[in-house]
Structure 1
Amino acid sequence: MPPKSRFVRLDAFTKTVEDARIRTTSGGIVTIVSLILMLWLVWGEWRDYRRVAVKAELVVDKGRGEKMEIHMNITFPRVPCELLTLDVMDVSGEVQMGVLHGVNKVRLRPENEGGSVIESNALELHEDTATHLDPDYCGECYGAPAPDSAKKNGCCNTCAEVRDAYAGVQWSFGRGEGVAQCEREHYAEHLDEQLHEGCRIEGAIRVNKVVGNFHFSPGKSFSSGNLHVHDLENYFKDDSNHSPSHIIHMLRFGPPLPEKSRGQLTAVGGVWTNHHVNPLDGTEQHTDDKKYNYMYFVKVVSTVYLPLGWEKRNDQITNVLGDSHDSVGLGNFGQGTSGSVETHQYSVTSHKRNLDGGSDADEGHKERLHARGGIPGVFFSYDISPMKVINREVRAKSFSGFLVGVCAVIGGTLTVAAAVDRGLYEGQQKVKKLHQG
């Protein structure tokens, strides 16, 4: 027997003779419809194969010695920039008082004048006139030791340096009466000019990734033993309408996602939606009481976004460990070289109280009592979750899965089409027999 005929017995696809085939109009229609349906289903399989899904994973955050950035844009319509101070402190013992690096203070016109931004040349309260004095000039610190920030060792040549010296020994400074440097710089007059102004704080700060807080309070801050104190004399002394009313335009922990990635994550299951609607964005609080305190308790969860193929590009995320954080510019923290991002989501609860204490009887809660005392302002206490969320891009279907899907579409469509065609053909034959009989 020839070798070729050995495979004849194994042929599972038996053929019919052309003369034995019957072609019908209904069969042609079924063929066209099945081909169109087949192409449409194959195209759907291709789109499903090309679709990128986002797989969320929850792991223990084992990072050590990390930093994170807090980006903010907050308006205080009733506190002038000269009185507003930003302080940061955490459980590691690190304290940043009067933060200026990375943060801009924008002076705003009074509320009744629209609250618009004042000219950029008016952003500073006073000029450093010490540069125009005799090079041998050494200003007096009025009984306080010269601050470490003094440009000339052992001297207080500017009003700001005298204020720092007073803060160092926990003395109230007031309006600088009798201080030659402040009278030369017209410090009191500039205070009066800003009396009814507002202030907007915008920028970013870098903090240790541990439990801590940052707050906005009036007056120069200093430490008194284990207490954190603010010089509130100028805040309470005058007859202005000062109050800690505020508008949080934006507050986020870490960098934002690129617009492309954000839209992709929102479209695929909405995994990232809650993160990018930061809970505190658009928050507005108003009070006419100077002695008022707002507290926000924030729970921060580390969140990583890893784009498709990031591991093949030798991606480096600048979440910066140890001493290397100094080499990363403010605002570039957490950005990977191939689109990966390490940022943070957060949830928040809030509380507010009058510093005079009392109960919430006016709000229908007589059982609630508030402690007396404290510092007026806006406080953000943040806690770090021990868990980390990893959002990883993956293919929704493998190539082998795509091939299996295509085969299933072709085979299933042909099988169904053959059954429909057979049914139509037999139906036509029965109708003919009924008419002929």
Structure 2
Amino acid sequence: MGMKQVIKNLDAFPRAEDHLLQKTQSGALVSVIGLIIMATLFVHELRYYLTTYTVHQMSVDLKRGETLPIHINMTFPSLPCDVLSVDAIDMSGKHEVDLDTNIWKLRLNSDGHIIGTEYISDLVEKGHTHHKHDDHKDHDEHSEQKIHLQNLDESTENIIKKVKEAIKNQEGCRVYGVLDVQRVAGNFHISVHGLNIYVAQMIFDGAKNVNVSHVIHDLSFGPKYPGIHNPLDDTNRILHDTSGTFKYYIKVVPTEYRYISKEVLPTNQFSVSEYYSPINQFDRTWPAVYFLYDLSPITVTIKEERRSFLHFITRLCAVLGGTFAVTGMLDRWMYRLIEALTKSKSKR
């Protein structure tokens, strides 16, 4: 074998035989199918290339002195707004008073429609300031002062009458807004703790009649990013002929989401476990919904990234070339099958 023949054998593109260059209907069908498959795969690979994916990284949380935003949106279908209070406390036991906080309460009728609003400016157990959009009079500023049953003033009597009427009409309340708390462990809770104990006793005739059934529409610790899942969203806890205290133990994980545009979104994600404690006749506590949160020392960074163009070209060549090769093989097999069938018929 000469050198020329050796080089000729290296040709990866040998000339096709004459009969393989004939145009047939079966070849046209295979060609159309192959083009459709290649076009579909091309669009799929292009979308795959243009779609971003996320990479998760963990590091020690070094943030100090920042606030933690808590977004609340809840409905209490069995408690009127006049008795509900939102209270916050941190791990040192200090109530959070001087916060840039906006909490709103929407009065709901028995059908869940809004019939009035109320804005709470300060969140503290021992004194609530209310700005009403209706004719409701303010609660006593010092709820710790004991009001004996036989010495009720006119304002307190009006409050009791109004609340009893609201309960009779099956009013509910929607609480929503943002709590800006210190970035330390603590809790916030929604309850009737803002009422004087004697007033609460006259309204409800015992803690067992305080129904803290609730629906959590949204609870988050910062803005939402693509793909986040807040485990308490759309949570329903409805009580029937019983009462008790709900406690949600929350582990907050500081999170940074870095978009493909290099924009950084600081936020938090969290996990939660739940505990319910029913009220019995010997309890001195009143039912409430507690959210007890603690912060993780680890921060999570989520980065959006895009696949390289070279990776896209490599996959594109693989799928298009593979499809072309397979359809070529299929065309040859069909041609030979048809040719064999034609010859067998002619022999007959």
User: Shared fold by TM > 0.5?
Assistant: yes
Q: Which residue of 2 aligns with 1:202?
A: 176
Written as runs of structure 1 = structure 2, the 5 A alignment for 1:214-229 is 214-220=188-194
1:236-269 deviations in whole A, cap 9, x for unaligned?
13565851423224241234537xx4xxx4xxxx
Q: Which moved more, 1:192-201 or 1:427-436?
A: 427-436
1:373-430 deviations in whole A, cap 9, x for unaligned?
43443322222233444443333x4211221122223322332233333334444554
Question: 1:86 touches 1:98 (CA, 8 Å); kept in 2?
Answer: no
For 2:163, the aligned partner's letter is Q
Shift of 1:213: 1.0
Q: 1:310 aligns with which of 247, 250, 261?
A: 261
RMSD: 4.0
Shift of 1:302: 3.5
| In 2, Cα distance between equivalents of 1:235 and 1:399 | 68
Three-state SS of the structure 2 residue aligned to 1:236 is helix
Q: 1:294 aligns with which of 219, 239, 246?
A: 246
Written as runs of structure 1 = structure 2, the 5 A alignment for 1:168-317 is 171-173=145-147, 177=151, 186-197=155-166, 198=171, 199-220=173-194, 231-238=196-203, 243-255=210-222, 257=224, 261=226, 265=227, 272=228, 275-276=229-230, 278=232, 281-287=235-241, 292-307=244-259, 309-311=260-262, 315-317=263-265
Shift of 1:85: 2.8
| In 2, Cα distance between equivalents of 1:257 and 1:245 | 28
Question: 1:126 touches 1:187 (CA, 8 Å); kept in 2?
Answer: no
Question: 1:299 touches 1:346 (CA, 8 Å); kept in 2?
Answer: yes
Shift of the 407–98 alpha-carbon distance from structure 1 to 2, 3 Å rule, reads: closer
Q: Which residue of 1 aligns with 2:137?
A: 126
| In 1, Cα distance between equivalents of 2:145 and 2:20 | 108
Q: Which residue of 2 aligns with 1:141?
A: none
Q: Which residue of 2 aligns with 1:44?
A: 44
Question: 2:75 touches 2:215 (CA, 8 Å); kept in 1?
Answer: yes
Written as runs of structure 1 = structure 2, the 5 A alignment for 1:368-387 is 372-387=283-298
Shift of 1:345: 3.2
What is the percent sequence identity of the aligned residues? 25
Shift of 1:45: 1.9
Shift of 1:355: 5.2
| In 2, Cα distance between equivalents of 1:192 and 1:282 | 30
For 1:236, the aligned partner's letter is Q
1:29-67 deviations in whole A, cap 9, x for unaligned?
434433333233222222222233344445544433332
Q: Which residue of 1 aligns with 2:274?
A: 349
Shift of the 391–206 alpha-carbon distance from structure 1 to 2, 3 Å rule, reads: same
1:57-80 deviations in whole A, cap 9, x for unaligned?
455444333322222233445555
Question: 1:85 touches 1:98 (CA, 8 Å); kept in 2?
Answer: no
Shift of 1:187: 4.3
| In 2, Cα distance between equivalents of 1:95 and 1:41 | 61
Three-state SS of the structure 2 residue aligned to 1:310 is coil
Q: Which residue of 2 aligns with 1:419?
A: 329
Q: 1:398 aligns with which of 273, 291, 308?
A: 308
Three-state SS of the structure 1 residue aligned to 2:74 is strand
Three-state SS of the structure 1 residue aligned to 2:311 is helix
| In 2, Cα distance between equivalents of 1:97 and 1:106 | 22
1:183-223 deviations in whole A, cap 9, x for unaligned?
5xx44324322234254432221112322111233344xxx
For 1:213, the aligned partner's letter is N
User: Structure 2: where are the runs of 5+ without partners?
Assistant: 1-6, 118-131
TM-score normalized by the length of structure 2: 0.72
Question: 2:71 touches 2:179 (CA, 8 Å); kept in 1?
Answer: yes
Asked if residue 96 in structure 1 is aligned to residue 21 in structure 2, the reply is no
1:89-116 deviations in whole A, cap 9, x for unaligned?
111443126999411234456x6xx575
| In 2, Cα distance between equivalents of 1:345 and 1:177 | 48
